[in-house]
Structure 1
Amino acid sequence: MKMTTRALVLAVPLVLTTLTGCGMTDNSAANDSDHTPGAGSGNGSGGVRSAGTSTSRDASDAMERVSSGIYDLIGVKGEASDTRPGVQTCPGKDRDTYFQIFHPWSFYPASAADLDSAMENLREGLPKHGWKIVEYGPDTSPNKNIVLIADNDEKKAGVHIAKMPKRERPKLSLTVVSGCYKVPDGQEVEHF
């Protein structure tokens, strides 16, 4: 997927806000009826669950593996965009010590008719692999794209998936976002 830097800068904060819901906070006993994307538990990281300690590169590799696992669940022939993860600051935290990883990518089915199957495979398959679907349904865009948002407590990650059938080239647009990592003592976050 070719995305301009400006488009990424504008899109990432929206996706991060959307993906840091109940399952991504330290308060795992949060009331599901209170789920609001971006809701936090006051854990000091802007409502984003701690993902532990890691370097930016190792965390980036981990999020690529999460994306790869999601790709495997799509279950139809197609092509994935070749994008690398990026680093984002954690809300309210020191940018040299704390960070999140975001990995935007797209999946283009071999046939536009396979787009529905791909989305349904994800809807059925994600919960079988530790993901909790926290939102599913049409977005507010004029195209009413179907959106699936899920959190995985074990992987300390969230995913936002949008089915976009009305594009010139129909696709699934996916963004995987990690919890908030802290770099090892004596190191600083490598931003890329």
Structure 2
Amino acid sequence: MRGSERALAGLLALGATALLGGCGIMSDGSAAENTPRTIRSVDDARQMTRDISSGLLDTIAVQGRTSEPGPGVSLCEEDPERERLFKMGHTWSLSRASLADLERGMDRLRQELPRQGWELVGDGVENNAAQTPYLTFDNTDIEYSVNVSLSTTPVDDPMLVVTVVSACFSTPEGESPRGQH
């Protein structure tokens, strides 16, 4: 992944985390400290994140180059001991495809993901110089959000940047997300 791709992916990952509301924030913005957490092992959550990303790539159905990094684990701030709560994040890109193909891939996501239980919660353009088109989906049943944006900078190498992020999960008793990457 080129430096510019990494920078864009990092910014979009932060944006997607904010869109999901981060750990412990409900959609109305209220703190959810006493909200029961879904219990998942880090390995199960990592596999689920991989499966979601794979399904997104299948739905986009565009041949190109995908970036390599896999899902990562981060600890949730409202776990004062940092022993149980974690969330998953996976940012990847699809490049070396035509702008028209990538636009069609976004259209497929727009049409297909709602049929798969995802709610389209954002469909527009970023307020930036490039006017980057984006889509944002939430799936409250599985507690994940997806953000997809179409970067056209540089013009000769457009790419989709996809960020998959989970809500905060709790590890099973006796397991900790510490040291997981």
What letter corresponds to residue 128 of structure 2 in structure 1? S
Gaps of at least 5 residues in structure 1 are 28-37
* Percentage identity across paired residues of the two chains: 31
Matched position secondary structure for 1:137? strand
Taking the aligned partners of 1:155 and 1:121, their CA distance within structure 2 comes to 21
Map 1:40-59; keep pairs closer than 5 Å.
40-44=29-33, 50=37, 52-59=38-45
What letter corresponds to residue 162 of structure 2 in structure 1? L
Note the C-alpha offset of 1:106. 0.7
Note the alpha carbon deviations across 1:151-192, whole angstroms, 9 max, x for none. 012221000111112335211101000111111112211431
Is 1:188 paired with 2:176?
A: yes
Note the C-alpha offset of 1:96. 1.9
Taking the aligned partners of 1:57 and 1:127, their CA distance within structure 2 comes to 27
Taking the aligned partners of 2:99 and 2:79, their CA distance within structure 1 comes to 42
How many residues are paired up? Answer: 176
Contact 1:19 1:160 in 2 (8 A): no
Taking the aligned partners of 1:18 and 1:151, their CA distance within structure 2 comes to 9
The residue that corresponds to 1:67 in the other structure is 53
Contact 2:24 2:33 in 1 (8 A): no
Taking the aligned partners of 1:26 and 1:11, their CA distance within structure 2 comes to 19
Contact 1:158 1:176 in 2 (8 A): yes
Contact 1:106 1:174 in 2 (8 A): yes
Is 1:144 paired with 2:131?
A: yes
Flag the 1:25–1:130 CA change in 2: closer, same or farther, 3 A. Answer: farther
Note the C-alpha offset of 1:82. 1.6
Matched position secondary structure for 1:53? coil
Flag the 1:188–1:2 CA change in 2: closer, same or farther, 3 A. Answer: farther
What letter corresponds to residue 86 of structure 1 in structure 2? G
Greater relative contact order structure (CA < 8 Å, 6+ sep): 2
- After TM superposition, the structure 1 stretch with the greater mean CA deviation from structure 2, 85-94 or 66-75, is 85-94
* Alignment root-mean-square deviation, CA: 2.9
